[in-house]
A and B are shown apart, each in its own frame.
Chain A
Amino acid sequence: MQTKDINEEIKWAQINKDVLRSMENPRKAYWVAVGMCLAMLACAVVAEIYQYRTGMGVADLNWPNMWGLYIATFIFWIGMSHSGTLLSAILHIIHADWRKPIYRFAEAMTTFSLMTAGLFPVIHLGRMWNMYWVLPYVSDRGIWPNFRSPLVWDAFAIFTYLTSSALFLFIGMIPDLAICRDNARGWRKKLYTVLSLGWAGTDRQWRHFRKTYLLMACFLIPLAVSVHSIVSSDFAMSIMPGWHVTTFPPYFVAGALYSGCAAIITLFIILRYFFRFEEYMTIPIMEKTCKLTFAIAMVWTYLNLIEFASTWYGHDLVAKEVLVDKFVGHWAPYFWAMLFFGSVLPFTLAFEKLRRHLPTMFVVSLFLNVGMWLERWMIVGPTLSMAYQPFAWNFEYPSMVQWAIVFGSFGWFGLLFLVFVKIFPSVSMYEVKEMVYHRRRAHVEDQAVAFHRRAGDGQPVTDTP
Chain B
Amino acid sequence: MSGNQINRRDFLKIMGWSGAGVALAGCDRPTTVTLHEGKEEVVSYLMPEEYVIPGVGVYYATTCQQCPAGCGIHGRVREGRVLKAEGNPDSPVNYGKLCQMGQAGVQGHYNPDRMTKPHIRKGGNLVEASWDEAMALLKQKVGPDSGLAGDRFAWFTGQVSGHQAVLVNALMDSLGSERHYVHEVVNNAVTRAVNKDMLGVATPRYRIDEAKAILSFGADFLGAGQSPVHYATEYATFRTGDRGVLMVAEPKMSLTGANADLWMAVRPGTEGVLALGIANELVIRHKRKIDNLPAEVRDLITHYDLDTTAQITGVAGDRIVKATQWLHSRTPSLVLAGQSAENQAHGYQIAAATMLLNMVLGNVGRTIVPGTELPFPQLAAKQGGTADLRAFAKAVEQGAYDAVFFYNTNPAYTAPSYMKLAEKLQSKVGFKVVLTQFPDETAKQIADLVLPLHSPFEDWGTHVAASSYDEAVISMQQPLMEPLYPTTRGFGDIVLDVLKMRDSDNYGQYADYYAYLSQAFGALSADWQKTLQTGLLKVEGQAQRINAKAVKVSLPDYKQNAEFPYHLVPSARLGLWDGRHANIPWLQEAPDQISKVVWDSWAEMHPATADKLGVSTGDYITVTSDQGTIETQVYVFNGIHPDVVAVPMGQGHEEYGRYAKGRGVNPLKLISPKHDAKTGELALYGTRVKVAKAGRSEALVRMGGPGRNEAQLGRKLVATVTADVYRRTEGANDVA
Contact = CB atoms under 8 A, between A and B. Distances in A.
Contact of B715 (A62, A318, A330): A318
A63 B707 CA distance: 11
A395 interface: yes
A156 interface: no
B122 interface: no
Interface stretch (A38-46, A49-57, A383-391): A383-391
A393 B714 CA distance: 15
Nearest to A389: B717
Contacts of B715: 318, 388, 390
A394 B706 contact: yes
Contacts of B708: 390-394
Given A317-B714, A318-B715, A391 B705 contact: no
A392 B704 contact: yes
Contacts of B717: 389-390
A395 B713 contact: no
Given A318-B715, A390-B715, A395 B707 contact: yes
B712 interface: yes
Contacts of B710: 390-391
Interface in A47-82: 62-63
B711 interface: yes
Contacts of B707: 330, 385-386, 393-395
A389 B703 CA distance: 13
Contact of B709 (A62, A63, A317, A391): A391
A321 interface: yes
A390 B712 contact: yes
A390 B706 contact: no
A390 B705 CA distance: 11
A389 B707 CA distance: 12
Interface string A344-385: 000000000000000000000000000000000000000001
B699 to A, nearest CB: 10
A390 to B, nearest CB: 4
Contacts of B711: 390
A294 B175 CA distance: 98
Interface string A383-409: 001101111111100000000000000
- Interface of A, secondary structure class, is loop
Interface in A319-345: 321, 330
Interface in B711-730: 711-715, 717
A65 to B, nearest CB: 8
Contacts of A385: 707
B258 to A, nearest CB: 15
Interface in A3-33: none
A395 B712 contact: no
A390 B711 CA distance: 7
A395 B706 contact: yes
A386 to B, nearest CB: 7
Interface residues of A, number: 16
A62 B705 contact: yes
Interface residues of B, number: 14
A6 to B, nearest CB: 55
A390 B717 CA distance: 10
A330 to B, nearest CB: 7
A395 B711 CA distance: 17
Interface in B214-265: none
Count chain A CB atoms within 10 A of each CB in B707, B709, B710 and give the residue with the most. B707
A345 B713 CA distance: 36
Nearest to B708: A393
A390 B703 CA distance: 12
A421 B92 CA distance: 83
Contacts of A388: 715
Nearest to A318: B715
A63 B703 CA distance: 11
Nearest to A395: B707
A32 to B, nearest CB: 42
Contacts of A317: 713-714
A391 B717 CA distance: 10
Count chain B CB atoms within 10 A of each CB in A62, A318, A321, A392 and give the residue with the most. A392
A323 to B, nearest CB: 14
A393 B705 contact: yes
Nearest to B706: A395
Contacts of A318: 715
A202 to B, nearest CB: 67
A63 B717 CA distance: 19
B544 to A, nearest CB: 46
Count chain B CB atoms within 10 A of each CB in A321, A385, A391, A395 and give the residue with the most. A391
Interface in B444-474: none
Nearest to A396: B705
B709 A395 contact: no
Nearest to A64: B705
A145 B639 CA distance: 51
Contacts of B712: 390
A394 B704 contact: yes
Contacts of B703: 391
A82 B84 CA distance: 57
A121 to B, nearest CB: 25
A63 B704 CA distance: 8
Nearest to A393: B707
A67 to B, nearest CB: 15
A334 to B, nearest CB: 15
Interface in B652-709: 703-709
Contacts of B713: 317, 321, 390
Nearest to A321: B713
Contacts of A321: 713
B296 to A, nearest CB: 53
A62 B705 CA distance: 9
A63 B705 CA distance: 8
A395 B705 CA distance: 7
A390 B713 CA distance: 8
A326 B526 CA distance: 72
A390 B709 CA distance: 5
A439 B705 CA distance: 64
A76 B101 CA distance: 50
A392 B717 CA distance: 13
A330 B705 CA distance: 13
Nearest to A317: B714
Nearest to A65: B705
Contacts of A395: 705-707
Contacts of A394: 704-708
Nearest to A385: B707
A431 B711 CA distance: 64
A321 B708 CA distance: 14
A17 B381 CA distance: 102
A49 B447 CA distance: 50
Contacts of B704: 391-394
A26 to B, nearest CB: 49
Contacts of A393: 704-705, 707-709
A395 B714 CA distance: 21
Contacts of B709: 386, 390-391, 393
A389 B704 CA distance: 11
A280 B709 CA distance: 58
Nearest to B703: A391
Nearest to B704: A391
A330 B707 CA distance: 9
Given A318-B715, A391-B704, 18 more contacts: A63-B705, A321-B713, A385-B707, A386-B707, A386-B709, A389-B717, A390-B709, A390-B712, A390-B715, A390-B717, A391-B703, A391-B708, A392-B708, A393-B705, A394-B706, A394-B707, A395-B705, A395-B707
Interface of A: 62-63, 317-318, 321, 330, 385-386, 388-395
18 contacts: A62-B705, A63-B705, A317-B713, A317-B714, A321-B713, A386-B709, A390-B715, A390-B717, A391-B704, A391-B709, A392-B708, A393-B704, A393-B705, A393-B708, A394-B704, A394-B707, A394-B708, A395-B706
The list of the 7 closest CB pairs from A to B, nearest first, reads: A394-B705, A390-B709, A393-B707, A395-B707, A394-B707, A393-B709, A393-B708
